[in-house]
Amino acid sequence: MSAEEPDQSAGSLAQTVLVEEARRQATQAERDERTILPDDLLPGVGDEPMSVKEAMTVGGKKMLVFMFLLNVIDDLPRAIRVIAPDIQNTFNLTDTTLTGVLSFGGVALVAGAVPMAGLADRIKRVTIIPFASMFWAATMFLTAFVINPFQLFMTNAFTGAGQAYRIPVSNSLLTDAYPVQARSQIFALEGIGRPLGQLLGPLIVGGVAAIAGGDEGWRWVFVVLAVPPVLVGLASFRLKEPRRGHFDQKAILGTTDPGYDDILYDYDDDDNAEEELPVSVSQAFARLGKVRAFYYLAVGVGVLGFALIAVPLQFNLLLESKYSMGPLRRGVVESLIWIITIPILPFVGKLLDKKFREDPPAMMRLAGYFVILSGVLYAIGLPLKPIGPLVVFIALAQAAIAAAFVAAGPIIAAVSPFRIRAQAFAFLPLFIFLMGGFFGGLIVGQLSDAFGNRTAMLTVAPPSALIGGLLIIYGSRFIRSDISVAVEELIEERDEVENMIQNPDDIPVIQVRNLDFSYGLVQVLFDVGFEVHEGEVVALLGTNGAGKSTIIRAISGLGTPDRGVIRLNGRTITYTDAERRFHEGIVQLRGGAGIFPDLTIGDNLKAAVLGSKLEKDDTEARMAEAVQRFPALDGRLGERAGDLSGGQQQMLALAMALMHKPEILIIDELSLGLAPLVVQQLLEVIEELKAEGMTMLIVEQSVNIALSLADRAVFVEKGVVRFEGNAAELAERDDLAEAVFLGGH
């Protein structure tokens, strides 16, 4: 070999990599372009305007009024910052410690919102409200009796956890209760409850503390604030649960007959328990992270959290230290800040609905501009020493932020799949408090201790608003494609449900539709779709790197797709975790890595069904049946599994998989590294299973073996399905056979 050959080889490899990457990017760009649907298929876009009165005629007044009142009551405790200096004096706390103690209630709120959203996506949401309300009322009451900072920290955390239900529950209920065309207006009216609560809260908190008097008059505030959530909890029993995604389905699908919606989406308790599998928090989070408009909105608002949490608390500390204001005067000033927001929000709601009808990206950009405007107002107002102009500019900044948050609800509702919508609403405050709220609060507290309250606010608030707004504006370029994906999924589901109604005896065991999958920024699967029917053996074929392993990871729940749906016996499992899919019958046999080598053979078989709730007799019967298929394991249950040969270990792994009596058995590289004789023994077992009617999906390095077992074949090349049909037909296709057999055995 000449000295130049390695360089030529390296150059050739680099050129191949560049060509392949260009091809991948072109494919992805083409897919993105195809994903964007015309306006008449996007819900709420291009529609006629709808007033709030018309929306309430359709959805009723009760839900909006209740959620408005819930917003008011939930925001009253935010005014605790008015008595923050008094609490600080009682326990002799630094600014940093005080900020950490009071901010952790917000952390507990958002941390609790995620599991609460998971619960809300599984049961009736209205049943959560009374129990959660009573809980946080009790912890609020207990705060009045704390005697040290640790107890204050704990009661504050429990109160936040008790309030965690409101954001995911109320937002998802409003989304499902009112038409798409008036969503921003509905969220705006409900959102007025927040500034109203912020307006009334400081007056109540400051007034109660002033009336109680003394160094510890602040304790009576918690007693008074414990009453409203009790009243809310009692009143919530009258709420009626709306159907999930109802108005999105109406806008996208329409109705083909009077009973169609009831057939397609029946969310009564009993039916829902039978038809729908639980939504996994981790799967929902992973899927939402791939919804780009949601991702940039969440990150942008998370950065804004530095200003959202730090400014109100530091402002009250400033009023006490620089303007010598007691709790009542601080309460009055705090209330004045929110007066501007209340009349502005209804107009903002109408404007945002109009922008969304005309151009959804313009609506999201407007939200980003509102956030940037708040940063500009903070930068101008915070250096001002006179109290009047200072309050006016902070009030204008808070109004701009409130306007941006009106847009957040409709954006999330539009781009998130309805099955995980409650969790989408919960993840937004998670970003706020964990990114900017808690850690930002600690940073600002340290700056305040070192340089003063005003400097701390100026250092953090304007930059965080600028960066947050720019992130939201950048994310607006993706909103059309994200809405289109959500629409496509609904249309596909409508079509599939109609097909299942017409052909109830021909429902696939596994169905993969429109599957896109990425690792980071690199997309590896493009619009993958195929089916595996009961009793059928399907071979999934392709060269190395074609995407086969990624497909079975998505089916098993070990990876979350960017787009598309996966069904098991007609039930959607796209957002179900891997463990639940396993218990529902999706069992995967991994080549060469399916046993616990340090356990005995018998314990391996028992471990395979841990958590299955099988009786001892049933477990032993299944063990006997599994061992009967593999004479090499018979009589050796007490031996260490790691002492078996490679072929015998693979037999044990297959026996462990069969212990579950799977709905579908996924076999990944059965013959990997095994001698031909052992492979033949395993194939005999697979042939027996096939004759018994077991449904199987086989990924096999030996194409000859795979095609000899399979009824049908699916050939994947560079993440795209190139062929799906009879296995014998694949071998006859010269253009595909050459690619399939390249490197085969």
Residues 540, 392 share a domain: no
Specify the range with the lowest mean pLDDT, choosing from 177-186, 308-317, 318-327, 597-606. 308-317
Half-sphere exposure of 198 (CA within 13 A, CB side): 20
Residue 250 lies in a domain: no
SS (H, E, C) 197-233: HHHHHHHHHHHHHHHHCCCCCCHHHHHHHCHHHHHHH
Please check whether residues 438 and 564 belong to one and the same domain. Answer: no
pLDDT value at residue 733: 66
Q: Which two tokens stand for residue 423?
A: 């969790």
240 closest CA partner among 129, 392, 75, 142:
129
493 by DSSP, 3-state: which? helix
The contacts found for 676-683 with CB under 8 angstroms, 24 or more apart, are 677/647, 678/645, 678/646, 678/647, 678/650, 679/647, 679/705, 681/632, 681/647, 681/651, 682/647, 682/650, 682/651, 682/654, 683/708, 683/709
3-class secondary-structure state, position 490: helix
Kindly state the percentage of the chain with pLDDT values over 70.
87
pLDDT for residue 106: 66
659 belongs to a structural domain: yes
CA 428 to chain CA mean position, Å = 10
In a domain, 188, yes or no: yes
Per-residue CA distances from 440 to 78, 304, 448, 514 (Å)? 17, 10, 12, 41
Determine the structural domain holding residue 326 and report its residue range.
60-244+277-483
pLDDT at 8 over 80: no
pLDDT in tens, 81-124: 778 888 888 888 887 788 777 767 766 776 777 788 878 877 88
What pLDDT shows up at residue 593?
A: 66
CATH number, domain containing residue 469 = 1.20.1250.20
Q: Which two tokens stand for residue 666?
A: 């996924």
Q: Which amino acid is at 106?
A: G
Q: What is the pLDDT of residues 630-674, one digit of tens each?
A: 888 888 889 898 888 888 888 898 888 888 889 999 988 777 777
For 490, phi then psi, to 5°, come to -65, -45
| Predicted pLDDT of residue 555 | 94
Residue 149, in any domain of the structure: yes
Asked if 435 and 576 sit in the same domain, the reply is no
| pLDDT at residue 424 greater than cutoff 70 | yes
Confidence class for position 696, pLDDT limits 50, 70, 90: very high
Asked whether residue 467 falls in the same domain as residue 614, the answer is: no
Say what the pLDDT of residue 693 is.
92
Q: DSSP readout, 409-454?
A: HHHHHHHS-GGGHHHHHHHHHHHIIIIIIHHHHHHHHHHHHHH-HH
Structure-derived torsion over alpha carbons of residues 348, 406, 410, 472, reported in degrees to the nearest 10: 100
> What average pLDDT does this structure show over 475-479?
94
Helices (H), 557-675: 578-584, 601-607, 616-629, 646-658
Overall average pLDDT of the 317-339 stretch:
81
State how far the Cα of 111 lies from the Cα of 80, in Å rounded to an integer. 20
- The pLDDT value recorded for residue 534 is 93
Domain count, the chain: 2
pLDDT at position 264, please?
42
Quick one: pLDDT at residue 515?
Answer: 92
Mean pLDDT of the chain: 83
- Examine the domain organization and report whether 122 and 199 are in the same domain: yes
Residue among 377, 366, 350, 70 nearest 194 (CA): 70
Structure-block tokens of residue 635: 């009589």
pLDDT tens digit string along 164-207? 888 888 888 998 889 888 989 999 999 898 888 878 888 888 88
The CB-side HSE value for 705 (13 A sphere, CA atoms) comes to 22
Residues 458 and 515 in one domain: no
Instruction: Work out the average pLDDT over 616-625.
Output: 88
Asked if 536 contacts 735 with a C-beta cutoff of 8 angstroms, the reply is no
* Residue range 56-84: mean pLDDT, rounded: 85
Q: Is 633 found in the same domain as 542?
A: yes
Token code pair at residue 76:
């009253």
Same domain, yes or no, for 476 and 513?
Answer: no
Six-digit token string for 312: 């109100």
The answer, yes or no, to whether residue 263 has pLDDT greater than 60, is no
Higher pLDDT, 272 or 634: 634
Q: How far apart (Å, rounded) are the C-alpha atoms in residues 274 and 598?
A: 39
- In the structure, what pLDDT confidence band is assigned to residue 256 with cuts at 50, 70 and 90? very low
Residues 6+ apart with CB under 8 A from 422: 117, 118, 120, 121, 125, 168, 169, 171, 172
Q: Which two tokens stand for residue 506?
A: 């021909």
Are residue 576 and residue 458 in the same domain, yes or no?
no
Its pTM surpasses 0.85:
no
* Residue 360 near residue 379 (C-beta atoms within 8 A): no
Dihedral of the CA atoms 324, 328, 334, 338 (nearest 10)? -150
How confident is the model at residue 272, as a pLDDT?
A: 40
CA 429 to chain centre: 12
Residues 125 and 223 in one domain: yes
> Which of 320-329, 395-404, 473-482, 578-587 is least confident?
320-329
Task: Report if residue 15 sits inside a domain.
Answer: no
Residue 665 has what pLDDT? 94
The answer to whether 559 and 517 are in contact (CB under 8 A) is yes
Indicate the residue among 483, 512, 543 that finishes a domain.
483
Q: Which CATH number goes with the domain that contains 672?
A: 3.40.50.300
Q: What is the pLDDT of residue 274?
A: 45
Q: Which of 247-251, 309-313, 522-526 has the highest mean pLDDT?
A: 522-526
Q: Left if phi > 0, otherwise alpha if psi is -120 to 50, otherwise beta: which for 547?
A: left
Mean pLDDT of 266-272: 41
For the segment 310-321, the average pLDDT, to the nearest whole number, is 80
Asked whether residue 1 is assigned to any structural domain, the reply reads no
Q: Count helices and strands (H / E) in the chain.
A: 34, 10
Secondary structure (DSSP) of 375-410: HHHHHHHTT--SHHHHHHHHHHHHHHHHHHHHHHHH
Contact 237, 130 (CB under 8 A): yes
The alpha carbons of the chain give a radius of gyration, in whole angstroms, of 30
Task: Report the pLDDT value the prediction gives residue 261, as an integer from 0 to 100.
Answer: 43
Nearest-angstrom CA–CA distance, 544 and 701:
9
What does each C-alpha distance from 455 to 95, 343, 384, 446, 452 come to in angstroms? 14, 31, 12, 11, 6
Average pLDDT over residues 287-316: 86
Q: Is the pLDDT of residue 675 over 70?
A: yes
The pair of structure tokens assigned to 600 is 């005995």
Asked, for residue 252, whether it belongs to a domain, the answer is no
pLDDT of 743: 44
**What is the structure's pLDDT at 680?**
85
In a domain, 595, yes or no: yes
| 292 and 434 part of one domain | yes
448 shares a domain with 395: yes
Residue 271 has pLDDT above 70, yes or no: no
